[in-house]
Protein backbone atom coordinates (compact mmCIF):
# COMPACT_ATOMS: atom_id res chain seq x y z
CA UNK A 1 0.00 0.00 0.00
CA UNK A 2 1.44 3.35 -1.03
CA UNK A 3 1.48 6.19 1.49
CA UNK A 4 -0.97 9.01 0.88
CA UNK A 5 0.63 12.22 -0.29
CA UNK A 6 -0.48 15.20 1.76
CA UNK A 7 -0.02 18.93 1.84
CA UNK A 8 -1.88 19.35 5.12
CA UNK A 9 -0.06 21.64 7.53
CA UNK A 10 -0.17 20.64 11.17
CA UNK A 11 0.68 22.79 14.16
CA UNK A 12 2.31 21.35 17.24
CA UNK A 13 1.91 22.77 20.71
CA UNK A 14 4.75 25.14 21.68
CA UNK A 15 7.28 24.10 24.28
CA UNK A 16 6.75 25.51 27.75
CA UNK A 17 9.45 26.53 30.19
CA UNK A 18 11.23 23.52 31.64
CA UNK A 19 9.45 21.08 29.32
CA UNK A 20 10.68 19.63 26.03
CA UNK A 21 8.83 20.41 22.83
CA UNK A 22 6.36 17.67 21.84
CA UNK A 23 7.46 15.20 19.20
CA UNK A 24 6.97 16.31 15.62
CA UNK A 25 3.87 14.94 13.91
CA UNK A 26 4.26 12.25 11.23
CA UNK A 27 4.31 13.72 7.72
CA UNK A 28 1.27 11.66 6.74
CA UNK A 29 -0.95 12.86 9.60
CA UNK A 30 -4.41 13.98 8.48
CA UNK A 31 -7.45 15.08 10.45
CA UNK A 32 -11.06 14.22 9.68
CA UNK A 33 -14.36 14.59 11.46
CA UNK A 34 -16.70 11.66 11.08
CA UNK A 35 -20.52 11.69 11.19
CA UNK A 36 -20.90 15.52 11.24
CA UNK A 37 -24.49 16.80 11.30
CA UNK A 38 -24.03 20.54 11.63
CA UNK A 39 -21.41 23.19 12.33
CA UNK A 40 -18.45 21.79 14.30
CA UNK A 41 -20.13 18.40 14.22
CA UNK A 42 -18.82 14.88 14.15
CA UNK A 43 -16.11 13.03 16.00
CA UNK A 44 -12.62 14.36 15.18
CA UNK A 45 -10.03 11.73 14.35
CA UNK A 46 -6.31 12.06 13.64
CA UNK A 47 -5.30 9.51 10.99
CA UNK A 48 -1.71 8.63 10.13
CA UNK A 49 -1.99 7.23 6.62
CA UNK A 50 1.53 5.76 6.56
CA UNK A 51 2.22 4.57 10.10
CA UNK A 52 4.98 2.09 9.28
CA UNK A 53 7.85 2.63 11.71
CA UNK A 54 5.82 4.24 14.49
CA UNK A 55 6.05 2.62 17.92
CA UNK A 56 3.07 1.92 20.16
CA UNK A 57 4.22 4.69 22.50
CA UNK A 58 4.30 7.14 19.60
CA UNK A 59 0.80 6.10 18.53
CA UNK A 60 -0.63 6.46 22.02
CA UNK A 61 1.25 9.74 22.45
CA UNK A 62 -0.31 11.18 19.31
CA UNK A 63 -3.80 10.24 20.52
CA UNK A 64 -3.05 11.96 23.84
CA UNK A 65 -1.61 15.01 22.11
CA UNK A 66 -4.84 15.63 20.19
CA UNK A 67 -7.23 14.25 22.81
CA UNK A 68 -9.08 11.96 20.40
CA UNK A 69 -9.00 8.37 19.25
CA UNK A 70 -6.46 8.12 16.44
CA UNK A 71 -6.08 5.65 13.57
CA UNK A 72 -2.83 4.35 12.13
CA UNK A 73 -2.84 2.77 8.68
CA UNK A 74 -0.27 0.06 8.04
CA UNK A 75 0.40 -2.47 5.26
CA UNK A 76 -1.89 -5.48 5.49
CA UNK A 77 -0.39 -8.79 6.56
CA UNK A 78 -2.13 -10.46 3.60
CA UNK A 79 -2.39 -9.11 0.03
CA UNK A 80 -6.11 -9.91 -0.06
CA UNK A 81 -6.76 -7.04 2.36
CA UNK A 82 -6.46 -3.32 1.66
CA UNK A 83 -4.68 -2.30 4.85
CA UNK A 84 -4.23 -2.94 8.55
CA UNK A 85 -5.53 -0.30 10.97
CA UNK A 86 -4.56 0.20 14.59
CA UNK A 87 -6.51 2.44 16.95
CA UNK A 88 -5.36 4.29 20.06
CA UNK A 89 -7.19 6.44 22.58
CA UNK A 90 -5.10 8.53 24.99
CA UNK A 91 -5.20 5.72 27.57
CA UNK A 92 -4.61 2.55 25.53
CA UNK A 93 -4.98 0.66 22.25
CA UNK A 94 -8.47 -0.26 21.00
CA UNK A 95 -9.37 -3.37 19.03
CA UNK A 96 -11.67 -1.60 16.57
CA UNK A 97 -13.30 1.80 16.13
CA UNK A 98 -16.18 2.55 13.77
CA UNK A 99 -15.62 6.25 13.16
CA UNK A 100 -11.85 5.87 12.79
CA UNK A 101 -12.34 3.03 10.28
CA UNK A 102 -14.77 5.12 8.26
CA UNK A 103 -12.43 8.13 8.35
CA UNK A 104 -9.47 5.99 7.30
CA UNK A 105 -11.43 4.42 4.44
CA UNK A 106 -12.51 7.88 3.26
CA UNK A 107 -8.90 9.10 3.17
CA UNK A 108 -7.78 5.98 1.29
CA UNK A 109 -10.57 6.60 -1.22
CA UNK A 110 -9.76 10.29 -1.61
CA UNK A 111 -6.11 9.45 -2.29
CA UNK A 112 -6.89 6.81 -4.90
CA UNK A 113 -5.29 4.05 -2.83
CA UNK A 114 -8.64 2.25 -2.59
CA UNK A 115 -10.39 2.11 -5.98
CA UNK A 116 -12.55 -1.03 -5.88
CA UNK A 117 -16.23 -1.11 -4.89
CA UNK A 118 -15.42 -3.07 -1.74
CA UNK A 119 -12.38 -4.08 0.26
CA UNK A 120 -11.40 -5.51 3.63
CA UNK A 121 -9.24 -4.09 6.41
CA UNK A 122 -7.46 -5.91 9.20
CA UNK A 123 -7.93 -4.87 12.84
CA UNK A 124 -7.21 -6.43 16.21
CA UNK A 125 -10.90 -7.37 16.32
CA UNK A 126 -10.72 -9.20 12.99
CA UNK A 127 -11.28 -8.40 9.33
CA UNK A 128 -14.00 -5.89 8.38
CA UNK A 129 -15.54 -5.09 5.03
CA UNK A 130 -15.77 -1.57 3.65
CA UNK A 131 -17.72 -0.61 0.55
CA UNK A 132 -18.15 2.47 -1.62
CA UNK A 133 -21.31 3.56 -3.43
CA UNK A 134 -20.23 5.34 -6.60
CA UNK A 135 -23.53 7.16 -7.15
CA UNK A 136 -23.67 8.80 -3.72
CA UNK A 137 -20.02 8.62 -2.64
CA UNK A 138 -21.15 6.98 0.58
CA UNK A 139 -18.76 4.64 2.39
CA UNK A 140 -20.07 1.88 4.64
CA UNK A 141 -18.23 -0.10 7.30
CA UNK A 142 -19.50 -3.63 7.85
CA UNK A 143 -20.26 -5.13 11.24
CA UNK A 144 -21.17 -8.70 12.20
CA UNK A 145 -24.45 -9.83 13.70
CA UNK A 146 -25.14 -8.11 17.00
CA UNK A 147 -25.51 -9.79 20.37
CA UNK A 148 -27.94 -8.52 22.99
CA UNK A 149 -28.34 -9.54 26.62
CA UNK A 150 -30.14 -8.11 29.64
CA UNK A 151 -28.21 -6.27 32.33
CA UNK A 152 -28.93 -7.65 35.79
CA UNK A 153 -31.65 -5.66 37.54
CA UNK A 154 -29.43 -5.38 40.61
CA UNK A 155 -26.94 -3.27 38.63
CA UNK A 156 -29.45 -0.73 37.33
CA UNK A 157 -29.59 1.42 40.52
CA UNK A 158 -25.80 1.84 40.35
CA UNK A 159 -26.06 2.99 36.72
CA UNK A 160 -28.86 5.40 37.68
CA UNK A 161 -26.82 6.90 40.53
CA UNK A 162 -23.81 7.39 38.27
CA UNK A 163 -25.92 9.23 35.69
CA UNK A 164 -27.97 11.07 38.36
CA UNK A 165 -31.17 9.52 37.02
CA UNK A 166 -34.39 8.96 38.94
CA UNK A 167 -35.96 5.48 38.65
CA UNK A 168 -38.70 6.88 36.40
CA UNK A 169 -36.10 8.29 33.98
CA UNK A 170 -35.15 4.78 32.83
CA UNK A 171 -37.84 3.16 30.70
CA UNK A 172 -38.92 -0.40 30.12
CA UNK A 173 -39.73 -0.87 26.42
CA UNK A 174 -41.23 -4.09 25.06
CA UNK A 175 -40.41 -5.75 28.42
CA UNK A 176 -36.75 -4.72 28.17
CA UNK A 177 -34.95 -2.18 30.35
CA UNK A 178 -31.15 -1.81 30.31
CA UNK A 179 -29.43 -4.04 27.74
CA UNK A 180 -25.87 -4.85 26.79
CA UNK A 181 -25.45 -5.00 23.01
CA UNK A 182 -22.46 -5.52 20.77
CA UNK A 183 -21.35 -5.89 17.18
CA UNK A 184 -17.69 -5.37 18.15
CA UNK A 185 -17.61 -4.37 21.85
CA UNK A 186 -20.41 -4.43 24.41
CA UNK A 187 -22.11 -1.10 25.08
CA UNK A 188 -24.81 -0.64 27.70
CA UNK A 189 -28.07 0.69 26.24
CA UNK A 190 -30.10 2.71 28.75
CA UNK A 191 -33.54 3.85 27.48
CA UNK A 192 -34.28 7.36 28.80
CA UNK A 193 -37.77 8.86 29.01
CA UNK A 194 -37.04 11.90 26.81
CA UNK A 195 -34.38 13.53 24.68
CA UNK A 196 -34.44 16.51 27.06
CA UNK A 197 -33.66 14.30 30.07
CA UNK A 198 -30.91 12.56 28.13
CA UNK A 199 -29.21 15.83 27.22
CA UNK A 200 -29.51 17.06 30.83
CA UNK A 201 -27.18 14.34 32.16
CA UNK A 202 -24.31 16.29 33.75
CA UNK A 203 -20.86 14.76 33.29
CA UNK A 204 -19.33 17.28 35.73
CA UNK A 205 -20.40 14.99 38.56
CA UNK A 206 -18.81 11.87 37.06
CA UNK A 207 -16.09 9.99 38.90
CA UNK A 208 -13.96 8.27 36.20
CA UNK A 209 -13.15 5.40 38.55
CA UNK A 210 -16.84 4.84 39.23
CA UNK A 211 -17.56 4.81 35.48
CA UNK A 212 -14.87 2.18 35.03
CA UNK A 213 -16.03 0.10 38.00
CA UNK A 214 -19.66 0.23 36.87
CA UNK A 215 -18.75 -0.88 33.36
CA UNK A 216 -16.61 -3.69 34.76
CA UNK A 217 -19.49 -4.90 36.92
CA UNK A 218 -21.78 -5.23 33.89
CA UNK A 219 -19.15 -6.37 31.34
CA UNK A 220 -19.38 -3.21 29.25
CA UNK A 221 -16.98 -0.87 27.48
CA UNK A 222 -19.25 2.16 27.75
CA UNK A 223 -22.60 3.47 28.93
CA UNK A 224 -24.90 4.50 26.07
CA UNK A 225 -28.09 6.17 27.31
CA UNK A 226 -30.52 6.94 24.48
CA UNK A 227 -33.98 8.37 23.89
CA UNK A 228 -36.36 7.75 21.01
CA UNK A 229 -36.75 10.91 18.92
CA UNK A 230 -39.04 9.71 16.14
CA UNK A 231 -39.63 6.87 13.73
CA UNK A 232 -36.26 5.16 13.24
CA UNK A 233 -34.43 7.92 15.12
CA UNK A 234 -32.78 8.08 18.54
CA UNK A 235 -30.54 10.51 20.37
CA UNK A 236 -27.70 9.01 22.40
CA UNK A 237 -24.62 9.85 24.46
CA UNK A 238 -21.57 7.69 25.12
CA UNK A 239 -19.60 7.60 28.35
CA UNK A 240 -16.68 5.22 27.71
CA UNK A 241 -15.27 2.91 30.34
CA UNK A 242 -11.69 4.16 30.19
CA UNK A 243 -10.61 6.11 27.13
CA UNK A 244 -8.95 9.16 28.62
CA UNK A 245 -11.98 11.41 28.02
CA UNK A 246 -15.43 11.54 29.61
CA UNK A 247 -17.74 11.57 26.58
CA UNK A 248 -17.57 10.65 22.92
CA UNK A 249 -19.12 12.80 20.18
CA UNK A 250 -20.04 9.93 17.82
CA UNK A 251 -19.53 6.21 18.33
CA UNK A 252 -20.09 3.99 15.31
CA UNK A 253 -19.94 0.63 17.06
CA UNK A 254 -22.26 1.87 19.81
CA UNK A 255 -24.73 2.94 17.12
CA UNK A 256 -24.54 -0.48 15.45
CA UNK A 257 -25.10 -2.10 18.85
CA UNK A 258 -28.13 0.17 19.29
CA UNK A 259 -29.56 -1.09 15.99
CA UNK A 260 -29.72 -4.57 17.47
CA UNK A 261 -31.03 -3.20 20.75
CA UNK A 262 -33.73 -1.37 18.80
CA UNK A 263 -34.87 -4.69 17.36
CA UNK A 264 -35.29 -6.06 20.90
CA UNK A 265 -37.05 -2.93 22.12
CA UNK A 266 -39.36 -2.98 19.09
CA UNK A 267 -38.24 0.49 18.00
CA UNK A 268 -37.70 -1.01 14.54
CA UNK A 269 -38.96 -4.34 13.19
CA UNK A 270 -36.10 -5.24 10.88
CA UNK A 271 -38.45 -5.64 7.91
CA UNK A 272 -38.05 -3.66 4.70
CA UNK A 273 -38.59 0.02 5.52
CA UNK A 274 -37.94 -0.58 9.23
CA UNK A 275 -34.41 -1.96 8.96
CA UNK A 276 -32.37 1.17 9.68
CA UNK A 277 -31.71 3.60 12.50
CA UNK A 278 -30.35 7.13 12.62
CA UNK A 279 -28.45 7.75 15.84
CA UNK A 280 -27.86 11.39 16.78
CA UNK A 281 -25.01 11.96 19.21
CA UNK A 282 -22.65 14.70 20.37
CA UNK A 283 -25.26 17.44 20.80
CA UNK A 284 -24.42 17.91 24.49
CA UNK A 285 -20.80 18.49 23.47
CA UNK A 286 -21.65 21.02 20.76
CA UNK A 287 -20.53 18.46 18.15
CA UNK A 288 -23.80 17.36 16.48
CA UNK A 289 -23.42 14.01 14.78
CA UNK A 290 -25.60 11.59 12.82
CA UNK A 291 -24.76 7.92 12.38
CA UNK A 292 -26.67 5.73 9.92
CA UNK A 293 -26.88 2.03 10.75
CA UNK A 294 -28.69 -0.39 8.43
CA UNK A 295 -29.14 -4.14 8.30
CA UNK A 296 -27.20 -5.69 5.43
CA UNK A 297 -30.43 -7.40 4.40
CA UNK A 298 -33.92 -6.47 5.57
CA UNK A 299 -35.45 -9.25 7.61
CA UNK A 300 -32.08 -10.93 8.15
CA UNK A 301 -30.35 -9.37 11.17
CA UNK A 302 -28.11 -12.44 11.40
CA UNK A 303 -26.22 -11.15 8.33
CA UNK A 304 -24.90 -8.08 10.16
CA UNK A 305 -25.18 -4.40 9.41
CA UNK A 306 -23.52 -1.35 7.88
CA UNK A 307 -22.34 1.84 9.58
CA UNK A 308 -22.21 5.00 7.46
CA UNK A 309 -22.14 8.78 7.67
CA UNK A 310 -20.44 11.89 6.40
CA UNK A 311 -16.69 12.51 6.60
CA UNK A 312 -14.96 15.88 6.27
CA UNK A 313 -11.32 16.91 6.47
CA UNK A 314 -10.58 19.44 9.22
CA UNK A 315 -7.79 21.20 11.09
CA UNK A 316 -7.25 19.96 14.63
CA UNK A 317 -5.14 21.65 17.29
CA UNK A 318 -3.24 19.79 20.02
CA UNK A 319 -4.73 19.74 23.49
CA UNK A 320 -1.39 19.11 25.25
- What average pLDDT does the chain have? 93
Instruction: With cut-offs at 50, 70 and 90, classify the pLDDT of residue 255.
Output: very high
What pLDDT sits at residue 33?
A: 98
pLDDT, tens only, 102-142: 999 999 999 999 999 999 999 999 999 999 999 999 999 99
Average pLDDT over residues 201-224: 96
Task: Indicate if the alpha-carbon torsion angle 224, 228, 230, 231 is positive or negative.
Answer: positive
Lowest mean pLDDT among 31-45, 75-89, 124-138, 240-254: 240-254
Average pLDDT over residues 90-100: 93
With 70 as the cut, is the pLDDT of residue 41 above it?
Answer: yes
With 80 as the cut, is the pLDDT of residue 249 above it?
Answer: yes
* Predicted model pTM: 0.90
Q: For 58, left (φ over 0), alpha (ψ -120 to 50), or beta?
A: alpha
Nearest alpha carbon to residue 139 among 112, 113, 104 = 104
Question: What are the chain's domains?
Answer: 29-140 (3.10.310.10), 147-303 (3.10.310.10)
* Residues annotated as catalytic (active site), given as ranges: 69
107: Cα separation from own chain's centroid: 17
Instruction: With cut-offs at 50, 70 and 90, classify the pLDDT of residue 21.
Output: very low
| Residues in CB range of 100: below 8 A, 6 or more apart | 34, 45, 47, 69, 70, 71, 85, 87
What pLDDT sits at residue 166?
A: 97
With 60 as the cut, is the pLDDT of residue 157 above it?
Answer: yes
Do the beta carbons of residue 72 and residue 85 sit within 8 Å?
yes
Amino acid sequence: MSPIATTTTTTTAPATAGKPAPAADPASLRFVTVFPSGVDGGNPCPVVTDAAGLTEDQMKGLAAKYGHEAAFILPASSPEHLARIRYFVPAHEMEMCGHATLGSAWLLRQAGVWTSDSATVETLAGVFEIRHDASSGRIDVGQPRGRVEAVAAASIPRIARLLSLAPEDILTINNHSVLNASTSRFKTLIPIRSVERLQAIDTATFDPEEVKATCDEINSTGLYPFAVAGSGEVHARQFPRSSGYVEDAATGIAASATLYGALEYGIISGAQGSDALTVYQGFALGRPSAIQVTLRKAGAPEEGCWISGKVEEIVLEPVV
